[in-house]
Every structure is written in C-alpha cells, then in structure tokens.
Amino acid sequence: MKENYESNKKFKWVFAVIGALIGFPLGYFGSDLVYKATHSLNNRQGIEMICSELFGDVPITAALTEIFIVSFDYSYGNPIFFTKYYAENPLVKGQPEIYGTTLSNAAEASAAAPIYFAPKVLNDHILIDGGVIANNPSLYAYEFAKRVLGKKKVRIIAIGTAIGPAPAL
C-alpha cells in the first residue's frame, strides 16, 4: 500500500497545485458573483410604495370588471393568475390565501422581475414576474375568458411596456 502511495505522490502534487490555481480565483471572485446572482439590483420599497399609492388595500374582488394579472409561484412551480373570478371563488383553485389578496399585492408579484426586484412573498408563496411563463399573457387571458367564464365575445386590453415611436432615419 505504501509503495502505491509513494508511486503516485508526484501526481498528487500536480492535482493540488491545479486545484489551488482554480480554487483560489473562484473563492476570491466567485463569492461576489454568487452574491450578484442571488440578490436583486433594486429593493422592493419603491415598487411597494408605487403600488400602495395606486391601489391601496383594494381587494381584487372590488375590481369593476374581470382582471387577469399573471405571476409565477417559484416555491411550487405553478403559474398564478390573479383574477376577480378566482378571488371570489378561491376554492376553485384551492388556495384562498393567494387569490383573495389585494390589487397591490398582485401588481407587486407580477412586477417582481428576477434580478431586478426581489420576489413578492405572500404567506409561504414566493411570487415572481409572470413574464417568466407568459411575456404576453393575452392567450392565457383569452382562454380564461372563453373556458372558465364562458364568454362568447372577448376584448383584451393589454397594458404593458411599450416602445416609443421609432426614430426617423
């Protein structure tokens, strides 16, 4: 056994040196990269303040018409569709603590773009931007109106980010 150890001793030094050459830079620079990858660029206070000013504590059930706000439940890997129907009928989806929330919470969850904003936490649900599953949720909204609500005619008003007019060439 000792002969086997002595014969491979030079290879062990090579691997130790290679490990140190790779491990030291990863340890030194990697911690900063891991921190940047796991923390958002902006804090939630700004978006919470804006949503609070715009929506206050108005529950989704108080919406004047049907709404459709998309988020993604990172903890359970499910899409979350905040709608007036699900808020009024929470047992349909089986999660009354999530769907019976306020417009402010739904808007904050839908705007929690990974890396830019920290997730919105509601109870034990970690909610992130719905754009990770549906950047344009019009098809989901259309299917919801047709299949769940049984609507014959559907009008969709998409309120989202837009690009201004193209510059003149």
Q: Residue 52: helix, strand or coil by DSSP?
A: helix
Distances (CA, A) of 52 to 13, 62, 99, 107, 158: 61, 16, 18, 10, 22
**Averaged confidence pLDDT in the chain:** 82
User: Please, which pLDDT band fits residue 98 given cuts at 50, 70 and 90?
Assistant: confident
Q: What is the pLDDT of residue 8?
A: 64
